[in-house]
Each structure stands twice: as structure tokens, then as C-alpha cells.
Chains A and B, each alone.
Chain A
Amino acid sequence: GQSLEQPSEVTAVEGAIVQINCTYQTSGFYGLSWYQQHDGGAPTFLSYNGLDGLEETGRFSSFLSRSDSYGYLLLQELQMKDSASYFCAVRDAGNYGQNFVFGPGTRLSVLP
């Protein structure tokens, strides 16, 4: 089976940097993805790490360490619009690799 752990809540101020961690346990591993979801909205894709290291996309970066079964999402220069829930997700190696598992989500609150 698979399980992912994330902090339930994180609070930061505008302009700050925040890191959201994700640890996972899977029977197989095809990479770690991150999604953002605003209240009442649909999840939207942010980033994907298939290999160890840092991936950067604008103000957002994502890191993966497969040996530690650990990854994080780094948000820089926080803006009020970044207040949302953030989910990490992995793809199970079984079921033809299409069984996705999402973490419980981290609710980020950005304060003025």
C-alpha cells in the first residue's frame, strides 16, 4: 500500500518563504507531484519530480530525495493568492502505474 504524510497547516506572511514537506511510503515509485487547490475550486498541477533534485518553476520549486522517501514544495515571495491547500501525490507502480494516491493536504494561510 501507499501512504503520504504532510503537515495539516502552515501559516506565513506575505513576501516570506515557506516549505511544505511530504513523506511517502509506497510499494513502487514513479515520481512525486504537487497540486494546488483553492477553497471551492479544482486541484491544479504545480510540479513533478521523477528524479532526485530540485525543479524550479517561477516562485515555486519542488525537491525530491528518493533515498529518504521525502520531498518538499518551496514557495517564495508569498502572495495572498497563494493561500490554498497543497497536495503531494505519488503514482503506484501497480495497476499499470495509474493508481494515484494523494496526501491529506496542507492548508497554507498567507497573512498580510
Chain B
Amino acid sequence: TAGITQAPTSQILAAGRSMTLRCTQDMRHNAMYWYRQDLGLGLRLIHYSNTAGTTGKGEVPDGYSVSRANTDDFPLTLASAVPSQTSVYFCASSESGEGQPQHFGDGTRLSIL
């Protein structure tokens, strides 16, 4: 089934450790996004990529980095995790252009202790 795959589904991580959340899509979408979702705050954009080879900062980029080496993959890295990064992380993709729907992965539940 076509769509977006995120891994891992959940993870418990010690503060100070690094972690890469994986995101792969097979829809050949140009645009990809990483969001975090915290209770009562909705979804907040961390980083995005308009097309392979380019990335941009969203609303809450500090402490996170991304890369877009190809169309399909958009990994999110936490270089040195802190407890405030405990959240549910969603990856999404969309075609370029006005009003294109974003397709979301099932999310990664990350707990930093």
C-alpha cells in the first residue's frame, strides 16, 4: 500500500543521546514535513523540504536537523535529546501546489528521560 512509513513506532531515549527518526514515502511527492504534536498545542512544524536537496526551518526547528538526499527519504535527527523533546512526531508529504493535501505517517512516540 502506497503511503508514508515512519520508524520506529515508539522509543524511549536517555537525555543527551542522539536519535534519528526515519520517514520514507513512495508517492514521489516533492514536499515533505516533520511535525511534533503535544497535548493541547496541535501540530507544530519542525522542518520541511520543498524538493530533494533543499530543506527549510519551520516554527520549532531548534534541537533538530533534517536532510533530503533523495525524493523518498526525510530523516529527522535529534543530536542531543532533552526531555522537552518528548512528543509524538509525524512525518508528512504532499505534491507541490496550492491546496495539496498532506499525507501523514502513523507517527513516532518519543519519550526522553
Q: A48, B56: Cβ atoms under 8 Å? A: no
In the complex with contacts A96-B50, A96-B56, A30-B101 CB distance below 8 A: no
Given contacts A99-B59, A103-B42, contact A45 B98 (CB under 8 A): no
CB atoms of A99 and B56 under 8 A apart = yes
Q: Is the CB of A42 within 8 A of B107?
A: yes
Q: Size class of A's contact patch? A: 20 to 34
- How many A-B pairs have beta carbons closer than 8 Å: the answer is 60
Quick one: closest B residue to A96, CB to CB?
Answer: B50
Closest residue of chain A to B103 (Cβ to Cβ) is A45
Q: Say yes or no for B12: interface residue by CB 8 A criterion.
A: no
Q: Which residue of B lies closest to A98 (CB)?
A: B48
Residues of A within 8 A of B92 (CB): 43
Q: Which of A44, A87, A104 contacts B40 (CB 8 A)?
A: A104
> By the criterion CB–CB under 8 Å, are A100 and B42 in contact?
no
Q: Are A101 and B99 in contact (CB under 8 A)?
A: no
- Given the known interface contacts A31-B99, A48-B101, the answer about A42 and B56 at a Cβ–Cβ threshold of 8 Å is no
Asked if B105 is at the interface (CB within 8 A of a chain A CB), the reply is: yes
